[in-house]
Structure 1
Amino acid sequence: MKKHAVVLGATGMVGNQLVRQLAEDPQYGRVTALVRRPLSTPHPEVGQVIADLDRLEEYSQVFQADVVYCCLGTTIKTAGSQQAFRRVDLDYPVAAARLAKQSGVPAFAVISSLGADVKSPFFYSRVKGEMEHRLGELGLPSLYILRPSLLLGQRTETRPGEQAAAAISRVMPFLYSGPFRKYKPVEADVVAAAMRGAVRQGESGVRIYPSAELPDLAAKA
């Protein structure tokens, strides 16, 4: 029987790639994008539910699915404050995972970040670490956490750090070899495929995938 997938963050760089891949994946018969605004390039195979993520519990019926993919993420600059950033990168994923658990969803896959750690001195990494910790406490049947390095791809917003890393990786790829391989930037479509690969493997419990493993995981999609 074909699966039903729900995607949060489908308007973002990875999420956009993911819904496109899911729509073309024969394993999935239904794909639902839970979004705050309509997709700029809608796919005929992808259903859209426009939702207020601050009241996510009102859309609990949407979570009647086989897998939930969470691609939510922002920056402090875009969000406008640390509090707003925490809401997008921590509160929303945890609320979605809680609804998935209540609905009996077997698998939940989420994008975190390289360096995620609740004890990190860096606010961004600390919030990502807290998200991972709180998701782990929910007792989801299968929780897949992906920790990509800097993402490469087309964004609607400008992120100078990612642009600089992309330029360096193209001009001096040897800098990301050996012990520095884990910092190598990764393409958004690879991360999307890696999410599908993690779900396809079907391992139970909490599984964490560092950035360097994502290309191999994507190949299993």
Structure 2
Amino acid sequence: MKHPNLLEVICDFERLEEVEQYLKADDVFCTLGTTIKKAKTKEAMYRIDVEYPIAIAKMAREKGAKQFLIVSSMNANKESRLWYPRMKGELEEKLKGIPYEAMLIFQPSLLLGDRSEFRLFESIGIWIVRGLGRIFGNELRSRMGIEAKTVATAMFLVAQREHKGFHVYSTRQMEDIRKSFDI
């Protein structure tokens, strides 16, 4: 989408220093992440899901950014025995060490929405979550899955508020924030 106040910058994350001058902002929204299928290895996925966001957060903070908003994952826990939640927990722990005025972590459950690629198991999960929502109501569905646009709306709305410190938003909280704003 073209907009006179937006500048699209395409970069190689292995050479972020080449685009460092574009990281001057008040608020930084980070939704970077991948799948093991796309990344091919845990090491590559870790680089994309943890190392790149940390590098962006540090560079933007050095340029004066005040708020960092990032999509992590439900059940993120650096002590987890499961690799994915442990990786996301490590990301969150590392972000705590960067001195932002406000560090805002969004921990969605399964992200629902249209995808440009087909993911069999994720598609099955989305189908189940939406079906359970129809049967048991959106209360259960919101614990199991959340529309990506709801996460984006919640991030935008939270960024408009005055915050200090480290804050974590659950799927349920994102749903409530979205409902509080009549879009």
Q: Would you say same fold, with TM above 0.5?
A: yes
| Aligned-partner residue type, residue 98 of structure 1 | K
Matched, 1:193 2:153: yes
Distance 1:207 1:140, change over 3 A: same
Within 5 A, what are the aligned runs for 1:78-97?
Answer: 78-97=38-57
What is the rounded CA distance, in whole Å, between the counterparts of 2:144 and 2:83 in structure 1?
22
Within 5 A, what are the aligned runs for 1:1-221?
Answer: 42-45=1-4, 46-173=6-133, 174=135, 183-219=143-179
CA offsets 1:160-181 (integer angstroms, 9 cap, x no match): 3331222123322255777x66
Normalized per residue, which structure has more strand?
A: 1
Instruction: State the 1:158 CA deviation.
Output: 2.3
Distance 1:206 1:188, change over 3 A: same
| Aligned-partner residue type, residue 44 of structure 1 | H
Unaligned runs of 5+ in 1: 1-41
CA offsets 1:164-211 (integer angstroms, 9 cap, x no match): 222123322255777x66632100110100111221122111100011
Please list every run of at least 4 consecutive aligned residues from structure 1 whose deviation after the TM superposition is greater than 4 angstroms. 174-178
Kept in 1: contact 2:132–2:141 (CA 8 A): no
What is the rounded CA distance, in whole Å, between the counterparts of 2:159 and 2:3 in structure 1?
23
Give SS of 1:68's match: strand
Larger deviation: 166-175 or 143-152?
166-175
Kept in 2: contact 1:193–1:219 (CA 8 A): no
Instruction: State the 1:72 CA deviation.
Output: 0.2
TM score, norm. by length of structure 2: 0.89
Instruction: State the 1:220 CA deviation.
Output: 5.2
What is the rounded CA distance, in whole Å, between the counterparts of 1:61 and 1:133 in structure 2?
26
CA offsets 1:109-151 (integer angstroms, 9 cap, x no match): 0000001110111111111110000001112111110000001
RMSD: 1.9
Between Structure 1 and Structure 2, how many residues are aligned? Answer: 179
What is the rounded CA distance, in whole Å, between the counterparts of 2:145 and 2:159 in structure 1?
22
Kept in 1: contact 2:107–2:170 (CA 8 A): yes
Kept in 1: contact 2:142–2:175 (CA 8 A): no
Kept in 2: contact 1:150–1:184 (CA 8 A): yes
Kept in 2: contact 1:144–1:206 (CA 8 A): yes
Distance 1:107 1:220, change over 3 A: farther
What is the rounded CA distance, in whole Å, between the counterparts of 1:101 and 1:154 in structure 2?
32
